Amino acid sequence: MKILVINCGSSSLKYQLIDMQNESVLAKGLCERIGIEGSKLTHKPTGKDEYVVTTDMPNHEVAVKLVLDALLDKTHGVIENVDEITAVGHRVLHAGAKYSASIVVNDDVKAVIKECFDLGPLHNPANLTGIEACEAAMPGKKQVAVFDTAFHQTMPEKAFMYAIPYEYYEKYNIRKYGFHGTSHAFVSNEAISFGKLDPNNSKVIVCHLGNGGSLSAVVNGKCVDTSMGLTPLEGLIMGTRSGDIDPAVVQFIANKENKSVDEVLNILNKKSGILGMSGVSSDFRDVGKAAAEGNHKAEVALEAFKYRVIKYIGSYVAAMNGVDAIVFTAGVGENDKNMRAEICESLSYLGIKIDAEANSHRGEEVVISTPDSKVKVMVIPTNEELRIARETLALVK
């Protein structure tokens, strides 16, 4: 059984073909600049040389055809017949409050993805385009939508409601939805099995710290709170996003700089975070290097990032009335041992003790707390593609 996992952006398409017998990646790749001049496909078959195709990709349908050609190619391919692909799993950003689980795509599902264009204006149209392109290229093949918002649908009202007039929730569905759900689901699930926690009696905090970042509080495998909101702008300080901010700042900047609300939100999404604070970069490694060289703004940006993570962890411990495990994942969470150690130092009030040797491991699931630590701390590399493939297989088997 082989599952093709597709993640479409407005001008990109990432894919992985996963053999579900041993959950190994047969090939992965990326189509870039779809609909823009200079488009190319980079195909990486496992155990074979990388293969680059530079050709026009006017739309996602052409991109999907090129991906299939690459997968079937005599030299660079990994399958002989498209029938070897059991089904296709699509990452879809937003399902609003409509779906709390993945679902086989039909006309109703497509209508819901469309209804949520408002809530995910950059991603949902591209995700739907990807689904339709796959339907056209592989008629009759089952397509499954795996939503970024689904895992967070178990949040109680007290966690997801904003304290604004109720009519806006009723009229426009304005509430906290949360994102990175596929990652939070994968990592919290792994934390329970790898960390040998009781699935029916466990309190876990997942820290997904990458270019985008979010935390989730997970009780007995179910999300009870998360830091992103109606959009991914809420919560942590991120690569380019401000995270939590006094909404009055929007009006203030708009008035002072003679900008529209849209323009200010663009600044909060794309020019803020550690990029905006440091003036150096949105990349944590660049900002870390600048801080090490004595750049004060870069230092403050990283300190503020860390401070916000520590505050969110504290609030989720309070929300859950305790915590059994804290898990780090994504680019920064998986790779930056100093950041992990410094965050955990501020959590000594929870009886957390870190094993420096274990904390220096990389690229694998590892418990980084000492055996006598009151809370288990782990690093679990996220694998959203594998989670999408597993969800897809479960629905089409």
**Known catalytic residues?**
148
d(CA 41, CA 29): 7
Residues in 168-187 at the binding interface with ligand AMP, rule: CB under 6 A: none
41 neighbors 28 (Cβ within 8 angstroms): no
Tell me how far, at minimum, the Cβ of 208 lies from ligand AMP, in Å.
8
d(CA 84, CA 348): 52
Distant-in-sequence, close-in-space partners of 112: CB < 8 Å, separation ≥ 6? 95, 96, 98, 99
Q: Please report whether residue 239 would count as binding ligand AMP according to CB under 6 A.
A: yes
285 CB neighbour count, 10 Å cutoff: 12
d(CA 61, CA 137): 7
By beta-carbon proximity to ligand AMP, the closer residue of 259 and 361 is 361
Tell me how far, at minimum, the Cβ of 317 lies from ligand AMP, in Å.
24
d(CA 73, CA 71): 6
d(CA 16, CA 278): 35
d(CA 99, CA 41): 33
Q: Please report whether residue 77 would count as binding ligand AMP according to CB under 6 A.
A: no
By beta-carbon proximity to ligand AMP, the closer residue of 148 and 336 is 336
Tokens 């969470």 locate to 333
Q: How many residues bind ligand AMP, per CB under 6 A?
A: 12
50 neighbors 37 (Cβ within 8 angstroms): no
Q: Please report whether residue 195 would count as binding ligand AMP according to CB under 6 A.
A: no
Of 7-15, 227-235, 278-286, 349-357, the segment contacting ligand AMP by CB under 6 A is 278-286
Of 77-85, 112-120, 214-222, 327-335, the segment contacting ligand AMP by CB under 6 A is 327-335
By beta-carbon proximity to ligand AMP, the closer residue of 175 and 208 is 208
By beta-carbon proximity to ligand AMP, the closer residue of 149 and 335 is 335
By beta-carbon proximity to ligand AMP, the closer residue of 89 and 213 is 213
Of 13-21, 22-30, 62-70, 283-291, the segment contacting ligand AMP by CB under 6 A is 283-291
Q: Please report whether residue 290 would count as binding ligand AMP according to CB under 6 A.
A: no
- Pick one of 283, 342, 355, 365: the residue that binds ligand AMP (CB under 6 A): 283
197-226 mask for ligand AMP (x: CB under 6 A)? -------------xx---------------
- Six token digits for residue 260: 């529209």
Q: To which H or E segment does residue 185 belong?
A: helix 181-194
Tell me how far, at minimum, the Cβ of 353 lies from ligand AMP, in Å.
23
Tell me how far, at minimum, the Cβ of 330 lies from ligand AMP, in Å.
4
Tell me how far, at minimum, the Cβ of 210 lies from ligand AMP, in Å.
2
d(CA 16, CA 4): 6
Residue 326: closest CA among 359, 363, 285:
359
DSSP per-residue codes, 96-112: TTT-SS-EE--HHHHHH
By beta-carbon proximity to ligand AMP, the closer residue of 92 and 187 is 187
Tell me how far, at minimum, the Cβ of 240 lies from ligand AMP, in Å.
10
By beta-carbon proximity to ligand AMP, the closer residue of 205 and 332 is 332
Tell me how far, at minimum, the Cβ of 302 lies from ligand AMP, in Å.
10
By beta-carbon proximity to ligand AMP, the closer residue of 153 and 383 is 383
Tell me how far, at minimum, the Cβ of 336 lies from ligand AMP, in Å.
4
What is the distance of C-alpha 294 from the center of its chain?
Answer: 32
330-369 mask for ligand AMP (x: CB under 6 A)? xxx--xx---------------------------------
Q: Each residue of 62-76: b (16+ CB within 10 Å) or e?
A: bbbebbbebbebeeb
Can you state the angle between helices 284-292 and 296-320, rounded to 10 degrees?
Answer: 120
Q: Please report whether residue 243 would count as binding ligand AMP according to CB under 6 A.
A: no
Instruction: Classify residue 301 by its DSSP letter.
Output: H
**E strands in 76-148:** 85-92, 103-104, 142-147
Q: Which residues bind ligand AMP (CB under 6 A)?
A: 210-211, 239, 283-285, 288, 330-332, 335-336
